[in-house]
Amino acid sequence: MDKPTDWRSGTRRIFSNEFKLHMVELASKPNANIAQLSREHGVDNNLIFKWLRLWQREGRISR
């Protein structure tokens, strides 16, 4: 995870592409538990699902 940035009224975290790819690899394993992954790594589970969808549909991690 890279440095947080101030975005409007709150703090927005920025994740590196390497971190996103690592999360996608873990989430792609058979019997992967996304909720558990999100808790262990401090990432919202919807964000992991978003990265997973981007990877599966378009072969990329970031916009």
Domains of the chain and CATH, by start: 5-58 (1.10.10)
Cβ within 8 Å of residue 48, ≥6 positions away: 23, 24, 27, 34, 37, 38
pLDDT for 62 equals 74
Q: What digits encode the pLDDT tens for the residues 3-62?
A: 555 556 677 889 999 999 999 999 999 999 999 999 999 999 999 999 999 999 988 877
Q: Where in 1-63 does DSSP place strands (E)?
A: 5-7, 10-12
pLDDT for 4 equals 55
pLDDT for 37 equals 96
Residues paired with 10 in a beta bridge:
7
Q: Of the candidates 56, 58, 62, which has an alpha carbon nearest to the alpha carbon of residue 27?
A: 56
Residue type, 54: L
